[in-house]
């Protein structure tokens, strides 16, 4: 900066001096050429001064530069020294930190060793659990009915893995599927092979599919398999096929049977005279099926019922609609049976008998009603006529019973009078009557007794009638003991019961009359010194089959059917005869129990009466009991 000021001042002096010189010279009248020379000299001097100045300035600059560089170097040196001081300080800090870091790393290394040991233990435990899980998975897979496999996604679909339970399904070892690439496809049924190959080729588009085919197992029989096939694509572009197949032969056969049954059911429904239907109870309530016979019975087509879910209800007689409400409200009862009236399309009222079942799903929710309805109008009319006929018949029977009672009573009155008169006659004239007269009087008494027994028999037979109120559980062993007390047989009579008799739901008076008549006949028509009677029975399915065997006089085979007719009796001795009503009553009681009676007999050896009594309680409404 100083050099510039000096240079400026010199230049100023030079210019002023040159101007003064020029001024003085011009005043001294110098020539023009001289003046030019002077100017040149002046300028030269100025230039010289400038060069001198510039030279000095350069040297000054060099010196200044050297000084500046020296100062700069000195400054850098000082900075480096300061940096070295800081570096030494940082180095000490780093050294200290490094020491602490080494200690920390040692501690971390110890912790890492502990964690590593724990990790090794955990890894071993995980490996053990993984192995156990793998074993469990293997056991599960082997116990499942599905054989899982893995195949190549190429032309031959070679098997690369298959679970061991394939042996339980096919009878072949897994290695046979893996070692032979054609083993699986070659054993597919020829009729199913093309379809299976098409499904396998489509797997590349569909990614998965389900197919069924027949496969020849180890015993060379074909079994139906259901195969679930999946295509797996990995990130590296590799693909393979996995899936599982199971034996569905039983299911297939069952479905075929169900299909056949459905076809048979539909055939029966289409040709049945009854109305067969299925009514859905879910949100889409309405008829799912109703047979064509509905048109024949009601005059309406099945379409009328399909279009209107309430159509069946609408054509029901107003007095019978409550039955449908009861069924829909009480869904706990699964089976229903009802008789109701409907109004045909022609306006005619007919009777239907319907039997229905409520179908529930796995959650016990009613889903549908299936039933059959039959036109019973003709039966109802016949029942009405039958009831009217029964009423008239009951009235006629009552009148007949009254008539029999009156007639028997009127007949008994003169017999009683005759008996009293003969008794008085004997007391009054016994001493004067000869033996022939006494014999005639005795024959008259026998005739009166026979006629009296005959009238009692007719009364007994006429009182056989329906009495449902007398039905009870009857122990036949107790009945037999009671009968023996009633007939009070002599010591020469031996009644043997082979085994304990059964219980029956019947009328006690009925079975008493049955067994009593047969036992009395067995004792009465016996000429042996020791009367032997055996009572036995067998369980004959729906019946009890009884037998009463005696060692009496026997019955001729020509009379086997005659003895059960009314007023038919077997001649035995003059003082022993029957009315011919007892066995007729026995036969009527047996028949009323739904059974039959027959005999097996030989003259002078004995007779066996066989008879059956139905076990079914339903037959009790038809029983005829002796009051």
Residues 454 and 469 in one domain: no
Please tell me the predicted confidence (pLDDT) of residue 92.
Answer: 74
Are 344 and 299 a contacting pair, CB within 8 Å?
Answer: yes
In tens, the pLDDT along 553-581 reads: 888 887 777 787 766 666 554 445 556 67
Residues 22 and 105 in one domain: yes
Which has the closest alpha carbon to 512: 592, 453, 586? Answer: 586
The residues pairing with 379 across neighbouring beta strands, listed in sequence order, are none
Please tell me the predicted confidence (pLDDT) of residue 577.
Answer: 52
> Domain of 156: which CATH number?
3.30.450.20
With left for phi above 0 and alpha for psi between -120 and 50, is residue 604 left, alpha or beta? left
Check pLDDT > 80 for residue 230: yes
Q: Residue 88: which domain range?
A: 2-139
Please tell me the predicted confidence (pLDDT) of residue 283.
Answer: 79
**Cα–Cα distance for residue pair 14/10, rounded to 1 Å:** 6
For Cα atoms 146, 147, 149, give the angle at the middle one, nearest 5 degrees.
135
Percent of the chain having pLDDT more than 90? 19
Which has the closest alpha carbon to 224: 205, 196, 261, 263? Answer: 196
The residues pairing with 339 across neighbouring beta strands, listed in sequence order, are 353
Q: What is the mean pLDDT of the chain?
A: 78
Please tell me the predicted confidence (pLDDT) of residue 47.
Answer: 63
Across 66-83, average pLDDT: 68
For Cα atoms 267, 268, 270, give the angle at the middle one, nearest 5 degrees.
65
Residues 121 and 13 in one domain: yes
Higher pLDDT, residue 256 or 218: 218
Query: Is the residue at 267 inside a domain?
Result: no
Across 313-328, average pLDDT: 86
Q: Which residues contact 187 (CB under 8 A, 6 or more apart)?
A: 215, 216
Residues 411 and 535 in one domain: no
Which has the closest alpha carbon to 241: 230, 252, 250, 233? Answer: 230
Out of 430, 462, 494, a domain closes at: 462
Query: Is the residue at 584 inside a domain?
Result: yes
Output the CA torsion sign for 76, 77, 81, 87. Answer: positive
Out of 109, 139, 169, a domain closes at: 139
Query: Is the residue at 577 inside a domain?
Result: yes
Are 615 and 544 a contacting pair, CB within 8 Å?
Answer: yes
Please tell me the predicted confidence (pLDDT) of residue 607.
Answer: 92
The residues pairing with 134 across neighbouring beta strands, listed in sequence order, are none
The DSSP 8-state label assigned to residue 172 in this structure reads S
Q: In this predicted structure, which of 279-288, 374-383, 578-587 has the lowest mean pLDDT?
A: 578-587
Other beta carbons within 10 Å of 240: 16
Percent of the chain having pLDDT more than 70? 70
In tens, the pLDDT along 406-442 reads: 666 666 667 777 777 777 777 777 777 787 877 787 7
* Total length of the chain: 627
Residues 421 and 337 in one domain: no
Please tell me the predicted confidence (pLDDT) of residue 43.
Answer: 63
Residues 63 and 87 in one domain: yes
Output the CA torsion sign for 99, 102, 108, 111. Answer: negative
Q: Does pTM top 0.75 for this prediction? A: no
Query: Based on the structure, what is the number of domains in the chain?
Result: 5
Residues 80 and 122 in one domain: yes
Query: Is the residue at 289 inside a domain?
Result: no
**Cα–Cα distance for residue pair 193/215, rounded to 1 Å:** 10
Query: Is the residue at 293 inside a domain?
Result: no
Are 396 and 404 a contacting pair, CB within 8 Å?
Answer: no
C-alpha distances in angstroms, 574 versus 447, 483, 530, 577, 583? 12, 27, 21, 7, 20
Which has the closest alpha carbon to 533: 587, 486, 576, 489? Answer: 489
Query: Is the residue at 517 inside a domain?
Result: yes
Q: Which residues contact 503 (CB under 8 A, 6 or more apart)?
A: 473, 474, 475, 476
Are 270 and 291 a contacting pair, CB within 8 Å?
Answer: yes
Pairing of strands 597-602, 222-233: unpaired
Strand stretches in 498-580, DSSP E: 503-507, 531-540, 543-550
Q: Which residues contact 265 (CB under 8 A, 6 or more apart)?
A: none
* 31 alpha-carbon distance from chain centroid: 150
Residues 458 and 468 in one domain: no
Across 186-206, average pLDDT: 88
Please tell me the predicted confidence (pLDDT) of residue 16.
Answer: 60
Please tell me the predicted confidence (pLDDT) of residue 353.
Answer: 92
Higher pLDDT, residue 570 or 22: 570
- What the block records as the tokens of 191 is 């009729």
Residues 42 and 92 in one domain: yes
Q: In this predicted structure, which of 51-65, 147-161, 336-350, 599-613 has the lowest mean pLDDT?
A: 51-65
- Residue listed under structure tokens 């028999």: 457
Across 351-375, average pLDDT: 89
Are 246 and 225 a contacting pair, CB within 8 Å?
Answer: yes
- Cα pseudo-dihedral 436, 437, 439, 440, rounded to 10: 120
Other beta carbons within 10 Å of 445: 15
Please tell me the predicted confidence (pLDDT) of residue 282.
Answer: 84
Which has the closest alpha carbon to 358: 275, 279, 290, 288? Answer: 279
Out of 375, 404, 438, a domain closes at: 375
- What the block records as the tokens of 47 is 């230039």
For Cα atoms 481, 482, 483, give the angle at the middle one, nearest 5 degrees.
90
> Domain of 490: which CATH number?
3.30.565.10
Residues 508 and 519 in one domain: yes
Pairing of strands 493-497, 531-540: parallel
Check pLDDT > 80 for residue 214: yes
The DSSP 8-state label assigned to residue 573 in this structure reads B
Residues 480 and 614 in one domain: yes
Higher pLDDT, residue 461 or 344: 344
Starting at the earlier edge strand, list the strands of the sheet with 366-375. 286-290, 275-280, 366-375, 349-360, 335-343
Long-range contacts of 380-385 (CB under 8 A, 24+ apart): 380/339, 380/351
In tens, the pLDDT along 101-155 reads: 667 767 767 776 677 777 677 777 777 777 666 666 666 666 678 888 988 887 7
C-alpha distances in angstroms, 507 versus 470, 513, 519? 5, 10, 19
- Residue listed under structure tokens 């609609």: 321
Query: Is the residue at 264 inside a domain?
Result: no
Residues 421 and 486 in one domain: no
Q: How confident is the model at residue 547 (pLDDT cuts 50, 70, 90)?
A: very high
- Residue listed under structure tokens 């055939």: 267
Q: How confident is the model at residue 621 (pLDDT cuts 50, 70, 90)?
A: very low
Query: Is the residue at 259 inside a domain?
Result: no
């Amino acid at each position: 900066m100083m050099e510039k000021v000096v240079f400026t001042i010199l230049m100023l002096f030079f210019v002023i001096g040159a101007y003064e010189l020029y001024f003085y010279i011009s005043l001294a009248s110098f020539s023009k050429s001289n003046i030019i020379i002077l100017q040149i000299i002046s300028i030269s001097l100025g230039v010289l001064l400038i060069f001198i100045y510039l030279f000095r300035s350069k040297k000054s600059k060099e010196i200044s530069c050297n000084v500046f560089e020296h100062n700069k170097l000195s400054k850098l040196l000082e900075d480096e020294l300061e940096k070295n001081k800081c570096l030494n300080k940082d180095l000490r800090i780093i050294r200290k930190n490094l020491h602490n870091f080494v200690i920390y790393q040692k501690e971390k290394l110890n912790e890492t060793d502990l964690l590593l040991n724990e990790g090794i233990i955990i890894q071993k435990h995980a490996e053990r659990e993984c192995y156990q899980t793998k074993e469990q998975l293997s056991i599960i897979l082997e116990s499942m009915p599905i054989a899982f496999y893995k195949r190549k996604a190429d032309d031959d679909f070679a098997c690369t893995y298959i679970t061991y339970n394939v042996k339980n399904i096919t009878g072949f070892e897994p290695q046979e599927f893996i070692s032979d690439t054609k083993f699986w496809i070659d054993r597919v049924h020829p009729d199913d092979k093309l379809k299976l190959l098409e499904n396998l080729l489509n797997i590349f588009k569909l990614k998965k599919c389900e197919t069924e085919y027949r496969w020849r197992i180890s015993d060379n029989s074909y079994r139906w398999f259901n195969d679930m096939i999946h295509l797996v694509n990995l990130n590296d572009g590799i693909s393979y096929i996995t899936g599982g197949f199971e034996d569905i032969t039983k299911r297939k056969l069952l479905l075929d049977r169900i299909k056949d049954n459905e076809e048979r059911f539909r055939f029966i429904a289409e040709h049945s005279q009854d109305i067969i239907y299925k009514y859905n109870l879910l949100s889409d309530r309405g008829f799912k099926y109703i047979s064509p016979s509905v048109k024949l019975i009601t005059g309406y087509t099945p379409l009328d019922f399909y279009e209107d879910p309430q159509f069946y209800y609408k054509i029901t007689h107003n007095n019978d609609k409550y039955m449908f409400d009861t069924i829909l409200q009480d869904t706990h009862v699964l089976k229903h049976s009802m008789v109701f009236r409907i109004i045909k399309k022609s306006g005619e009222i007919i009777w239907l008998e319907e039997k229905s079942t409520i179908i529930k799903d796995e959650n016990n929710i009613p889903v549908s009603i299936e039933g059959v309805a039959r036109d019973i109008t003709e039966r109802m009319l016949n029942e009405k006529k039958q009831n009217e006929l029964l009423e008239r018949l009951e009235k006629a029977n009552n009148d007949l019973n009254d008539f029999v009672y009156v007639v028997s009573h009127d007949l008994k009155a003169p017999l009683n009078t005759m008996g009293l008169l003969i008794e008085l006659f004997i007391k009054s004239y016994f001493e004067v009557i000869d033996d022939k007269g006494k014999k005639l009087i005795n024959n008259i008494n026998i005739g009166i007794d026979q006629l009296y027994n005959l009238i009692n028999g007719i009364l007994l037979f006429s009182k056989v009638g329906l009495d449902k109120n007398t039905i009870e559980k009857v122990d036949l062993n107790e009945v037999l003991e009671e009968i023996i007390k009633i007939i009070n047989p002599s010591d020469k009579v031996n009644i043997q019961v082979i085994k304990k008799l059964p219980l029956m739901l019947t009328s006690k008076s009925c079975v008493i009359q049955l067994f009593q008549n047969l036992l009395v006949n067995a004792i009465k028509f016996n000429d042996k010194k020791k009367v032997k009677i055996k009572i036995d029975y067998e369980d004959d399915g729906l019946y009890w089959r009884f037998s009463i065997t005696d060692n009496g006089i026997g019955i001729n085979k020509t009379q086997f059917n005659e003895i059960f007719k009314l007023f038919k009796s077997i001649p035995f001795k003059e003082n022993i005869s029957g009315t011919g009503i007892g066995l007729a009553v026995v036969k009527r009681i047996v028949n009323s129990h739904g059974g039959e009676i027959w005999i097996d007999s030989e003259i002078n050896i004995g007779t066996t009466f066989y008879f059956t009594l139905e076990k079914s309680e339903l037959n009790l409404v038809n029983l005829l009991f002796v009051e």
